[in-house]
């Protein structure tokens, strides 16, 4: 059974995300200081947002390719604009949002589409793009153990090591790159500047 089938069950997915956030040591992680009072687009919104409060934003929009997740998001955040949309073809004009978040989404997208997804996020952002995702340990055994765990419980398509992340982000204006997480430092956070104005 494909672990990504859980996307059809928002309540179960929400429970899984809360549990994994605790397991990953992200219980206290928040970007509320950045998102408060801003216009924010959440790419791959799922049924809830664990790392900032959409209620504290000036404007909040959320997209996901799962209709079930979008419906759950609408119920949880009724003042938000929640749409079914693809991360590589966002239905918004350039510079529509102060911030764009992509939290634990990229690894569920075919790696060949990452450049387009990041470019789309940069296109609609005025200030920056915030990314939180998995990072694979450099050590052979620990990396193998992480991959086995992710294959069983997450079903993602691409889990990069730090050197692979650096290569993928080459050419982008990355403000910072932090590694965290209790499962061998399995989470990375970074911020990308938006595309320069033409």
Tell whether the model's pLDDT for residue 3 goes beyond 60. Answer: no
The distance between the two most distant Cα atoms of the chain, rounded to a whole number of Å, is 46
Please indicate, yes or no, if residue 139 is contained in any of the structural domains.
yes
Question: For 107-116, what is each residue's pLDDT tens digit?
Answer: 999 999 999 9
Please indicate, yes or no, if residue 105 is contained in any of the structural domains.
yes
Kindly state the average pLDDT of the residues 145-173: 88
Distance CA 176, CA 189 (A): 8
CATH assignment of the domain containing 152 = 3.40.50.150
Tell whether the model's pLDDT for residue 182 goes beyond 70. Answer: no
Q: How many domains does the chain have?
A: 1
Can you give the pLDDT at residue 197?
59
Please indicate, yes or no, if residue 57 is contained in any of the structural domains.
yes
Say if CB 70 and CB 91 are below 8 A apart.
no
Please indicate, yes or no, if residue 48 is contained in any of the structural domains.
yes
Please indicate, yes or no, if residue 23 is contained in any of the structural domains.
yes
Which residue carries 């509320």 as its tokens? 32
Please indicate, yes or no, if residue 197 is contained in any of the structural domains.
no
Strand partners, 128: 99
Question: For 82-103, what is each residue's pLDDT tens digit?
Answer: 999 999 999 999 999 999 999 9
Can you give the pLDDT at residue 114?
96
Please indicate, yes or no, if residue 90 is contained in any of the structural domains.
yes
Question: For 34-57, what is each residue's pLDDT tens digit?
Answer: 999 999 999 999 998 999 999 999
* Edge-to-edge strand list for the sheet holding 174-180: 81-84, 59-64, 39-43, 97-103, 125-134, 187-192, 174-180
In SS3 terms, the chain reads as: CCHHHHHHCHHHHHHHHHHHHHHCCCCCCCCHHHHCCCEEEEECCCCCCCCCCHHHCCEEEEEECCHHHHHHHHHHCCCCEEEECCCCCCCCCCCCEEEEEEECCHHHCCHHHHHHHHHHHHHHEEEEEEEEEECECCCHHHHHHHHHHHHHHCCCCCCCEHHHHHHHHCCCCEEEEEEECCCCCCEEEEEECCCCCC
Structural domain harbouring 62: 3-192
Q: What percent of the chain has pLDDT over 90?
A: 62
Q: Is 19 exposed, middle or buried (0-12, 13-18, 19+ CB in 10 A)?
A: exposed
In this structure, the number of other CB atoms found within 10 A of the CB of residue 194 comes to 21
Please indicate, yes or no, if residue 198 is contained in any of the structural domains.
no
């Amino acid at each position: 059974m494909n672990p990504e089938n859980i996307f059809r069950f928002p309540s179960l997915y929400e429970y899984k995300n809360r549990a994994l956030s605790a397991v990953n040591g992200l219980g206290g992680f928040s970007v509320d200081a950045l998102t408060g009072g801003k216009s924010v687009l959440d790419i791959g919104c799922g049924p809830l947002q664990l790392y900032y409060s959409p209620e504290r934003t000036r404007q909040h929009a959320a997209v996901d390719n799962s209709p079930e997740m979008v419906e759950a998001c609408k119920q949880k955040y009724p003042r938000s604009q929640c749409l079914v949309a693809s991360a590589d073809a966002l239905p918004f004009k350039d510079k529509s949002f102060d911030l764009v978040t992509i939290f634990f989404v990229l690894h569920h997208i075919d790696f060949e589409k990452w450049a387009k997804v990041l470019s789309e996020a940069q296109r609609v952002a005025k200030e920056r793009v915030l990314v939180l995702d998995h990072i694979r340990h450099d050590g052979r055994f620990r990396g193998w153990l992480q991959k086995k765990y992710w294959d069983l419980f997450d079903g993602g398509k691409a889990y990069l090591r730090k050197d692979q992340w650096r290569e993928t982000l080459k050419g982008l204006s990355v403000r910072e790159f932090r590694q965290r997480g209790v499962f061998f430092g399995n989470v990375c956070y970074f911020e990308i500047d938006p595309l320069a104005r033409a």
